[in-house]
Each structure stands twice: as C-alpha cells, then as structure tokens.
C-alpha cells in the first residue's frame, strides 16, 4: 500500500530524511516512532503528495505520489495538527462541510460521530471541545469518506491515558474494518500497543524496523528472568535450564509474586541505538 525507496529530503542545507526505505502491507498499522524533529511529519507530507523531495521514490496506494489522481486522494485520509477543524462550527456542521467536499451522504455523519464517541456532542462548537473531543472530531473527519489509507500524525499527543486508550480502540476498530494505518508517535507504549510494524526514526535515519516484539527480542542481550518474591526481594536469574531448579524451588515454597522475562522495551532499544530518549520526559 505504501513504499519508500531511498528517500532523501533536505530543507535548505539541512538533510532531514536520509535514505528512507520500507514497505507497508494492506491492513496493517505501521508506526513511525521517533523523537521531536526526527522527520516524521516530513515523511507523512511526502507520502501524501504534499511535499517534494530530492531523490528516491514514494508510493502510496501502489502509485508514485506524484501521479496520485483526485480519486486516489479520496482514498487517503490525513489527520495532522490544526488540520481541518472550523472553530466556529459545531461538530456536525464541520462534518457536513467535508461530507459535501467528498460527496458523502449526510446520513453517514451521525454514525461517524457515534463511532468516535461524539454522539452526545454533535451540536457543540469546535472551539468549545476539550482536547480529547477535538481529536475525536479530527478522526471523524478522516473516517467520514472511508479512506483505504489513513495517516495519523501523533494522534494522541497531549491526551490523558484514559482518552488515549479510547482513541486506541477506535484506531484498532478502523484496522478491523480493513483500513491501512500509518501513524507517528513518540510514545513507545502507544507503538507497542497498536502497531504491527514500527520503524524507529532518528535524525532522518531508520535505525531499526520490525514488529515491536521482534525488535525487543532482538535487543534482549541480558536474557534474564526476573522474579519478584512475596518477601519483597527481586531475583534475577539466567534465562536457561540452569535456572529451572531455583525457579521450581521458589514456586514450591509459594514465594513468587511475579515472574517476567527481561526483554527491553522500545524506549530502551531506541536509547541503545541512538543514545537518545524518545520523549523528553521519558
Ligand atoms: N518547512 C520547513 N522548513 C525548514 N525546516 C523544516 C521544515 N519542516 C520541517 N523542518 C525541519 O525538519 C526536521 C524534521 O521536522 P519534522 O516536523 O518532520 O519532525 P517530526 O519528527 O515531525 O517532529 P515532531 O515530533 O516535533 O512533530 C526538523 O529539524 C525541522 O526543523
Ligand atoms: Mg511532527
């Protein structure tokens, strides 16, 4: 559905994307994970035909982005900051504007607002929406014309954990209905919870890509088992048969409260590969 082949992009003298390569299959959720300034929004703009680039190839819906027709663009949904919300209009009025642009029947508007959890706020003006409700309205606008590919640029940034989870459910439902989703985030938990594939982007270079679990397994250098005991003690054992006896004894004594293998998370992998954190406060 989406393919990047050796994409390079600079702004003035500054190289912002440096040889980007990946493929995204139909029906998957692909996450571009990277810190602020990594080049995530720039890549979305390239893949949606909004920004020229110096070299390489970008394909969306299987077509060179330079050759996307109006009909192709109808099959692409884009949610970016400050994009497509008319402040003085209510939720329903906002969607009517886009329904008319895309030739979508007005009966679909209320259903779409229900899907994103704005069923009780159809008449609320956009300027009076909370941050979470505004995100829901932006999603409704993107979903309205049922695009095949949906680009979401940091769809949950600044949201509280509960609203974030609810937005995740909406995105996962969209995947179930067959859409291909490209999202950007600097939240590694979000990437791990939602994405079939992630690419870790640092200063315009993809430093690793794969399924979140595969990546974490690959960088599991320690290969340890962590046990937390009811006494409060933490025990770290090698991940191998030499630990079987010790683990058996602890379980027999009913002293194990939790047991985990010690794979790193995406944040730790990113730090190992780049020396940088994904989020300032992480
Ligand atoms: N129009 C522009 N002109 C000049 N430089 C730009 C322009 N757009 C982006 N840049 C630069 O390109 C780099 C990548 O920006 P981009 O917005 O793609 O990052 P990002 O990963 O989306 O960051 P964030 O997480 O903060 O949204 C940054 O250094 C930014 O300053
Ligand atoms: Mg950005």
The verdict on 119 and 258 lying in the same domain is no
What are the pLDDT digits (tens) for 135-146? Answer: 999 999 999 999
In a domain, 270, yes or no: no
Cα 106 to ligand 1 centre (Å): 37
Looking at residue 222, what is its pLDDT? 76
Looking at residue 64, what is its pLDDT? 95
Mutation probe of ligand 1 site: the residue of 13, 36, 38, 78 with most atoms within 8 A of C-beta: 38
The verdict on 125 and 251 lying in the same domain is no
Looking at residue 2, what is its pLDDT? 96
**Considering its fold, how many domains does the chain have in total?**
2
Smallest CA separation from ligand 1 atom 10, residue = 11
Whole-number Å distance between alpha carbons of 89 and 164 = 25
Looking at residue 105, what is its pLDDT? 94
The verdict on 123 and 44 lying in the same domain is yes
Specify the range with the lowest mean pLDDT, choosing from 24-28, 65-69, 165-169, 261-265: 261-265
Q: Can you tell me the mean pLDDT for 86-95?
A: 95
Looking at residue 158, what is its pLDDT? 87
The verdict on 125 and 243 lying in the same domain is no
The domain boundary, picked from 186, 216, 246, lies at 216
The verdict on 25 and 148 lying in the same domain is yes
> Among all ligands shown, which has an atom nearest to the Cα of 280?
1
What are the pLDDT digits (tens) for 143-175? Answer: 999 999 999 999 998 899 999 999 999 999 999
Looking at residue 94, what is its pLDDT? 95
The verdict on 159 and 44 lying in the same domain is yes
Smallest CA separation from ligand 1 atom 12, residue = 16
Residue of 100, 2, 81 lying closest to 49 (CA atoms): 2
In a domain, 280, yes or no: no
The verdict on 235 and 185 lying in the same domain is no
The verdict on 79 and 130 lying in the same domain is yes
In a domain, 211, yes or no: yes
Looking at residue 281, what is its pLDDT? 60
Burial class (CB in 10 A: 0-12, 13-18, 19+), 30: buried
Q: What is the domain-level CATH number for residue 12?
A: 3.40.50.300
In a domain, 282, yes or no: no
pTM, 2 dp: 0.89
Looking at residue 70, what is its pLDDT? 87
> Among all ligands shown, which has an atom nearest to the Cα of 202?
1
Smallest CA separation from ligand 1 atom 6, residue = 11
Looking at residue 220, what is its pLDDT? 85
Q: Name all residues whose Cβ lies below 6 A of ligand 1.
A: 11, 16, 34, 36-42, 186
Beta bridge partners of 180: 149
Cα 270 to ligand 1 centre (Å): 20
Q: Which atom of ligand 1 is nearest to the CA of 12?
A: 4
pLDDT above 80: residue 62: yes
pLDDT above 50: residue 242: yes
In a domain, 275, yes or no: no
Domain range for 97: 2-216
Residue 282 — pLDDT band, cuts 50, 70, 90? very low
Percent of the chain surpassing pLDDT 70: 99
Smallest CA separation from ligand 1 atom 9, residue = 42
Share the mean pLDDT of the chain: 92
Cα 198 to ligand 1 centre (Å): 20
The verdict on 189 and 233 lying in the same domain is no
In a domain, 267, yes or no: no
Smallest CA separation from ligand 1 atom 16, residue = 39
């Amino acid at each position: 559905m989406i393919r990047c082949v050796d994409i390079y992009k600079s702004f003035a003298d500054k190289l912002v994307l440096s040889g980007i390569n990946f493929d995204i299959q139909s029906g998957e959720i692909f996450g571009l994970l990277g810190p602020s300034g990594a080049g995530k929004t720039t890549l979305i703009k390239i893949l949606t035909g909004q920004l020229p680039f110096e070299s390489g190839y970008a394909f969306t819906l299987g077509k060179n982005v330079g050759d996307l027709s109006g009909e192709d663009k109808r099959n692409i949904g884009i949610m970016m900051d400050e994009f497509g919300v008319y402040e003085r209009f209510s939720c329903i009025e906002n969607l009517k504007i886009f329904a008319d642009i895309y030739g979508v029947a007005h009966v679909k508007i209320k259903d779409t607002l229900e899907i994103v959890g704005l069923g009780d706020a159809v008449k609320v003006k956009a300027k009076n929406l909370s941050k979470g409700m505004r995100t829901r309205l932006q999603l409704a606008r993107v979903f309205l014309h049922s695009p095949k590919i949906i680009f979401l640029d940091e769809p949950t940034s600044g949201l509280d954990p509960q609203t974030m989870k609810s937005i995740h459910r909406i995105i996962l439902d969209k995947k179930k209905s067959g859409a291909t989703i490209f999202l950007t985030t600097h939240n590694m938990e979000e990437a791990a919870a939602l994405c079939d594939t992630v690419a870790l982007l640092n200063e315009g270079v993809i430093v690793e890509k794969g399924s979140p679990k595969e990546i974490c397994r690959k960088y599991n250098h320690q290969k340890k088992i962590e046990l937390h005991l009811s006494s409060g003690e933490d025990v770290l054992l090698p991940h191998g048969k030499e630990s079987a006896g010790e683990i058996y004894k602890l379980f027999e004594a009913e002293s194990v409260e939790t047991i985990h293998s010690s794979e790193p998370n995406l944040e730790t992998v990113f730090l190992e590969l780049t020396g940088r954190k994904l989020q300032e406060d992480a």
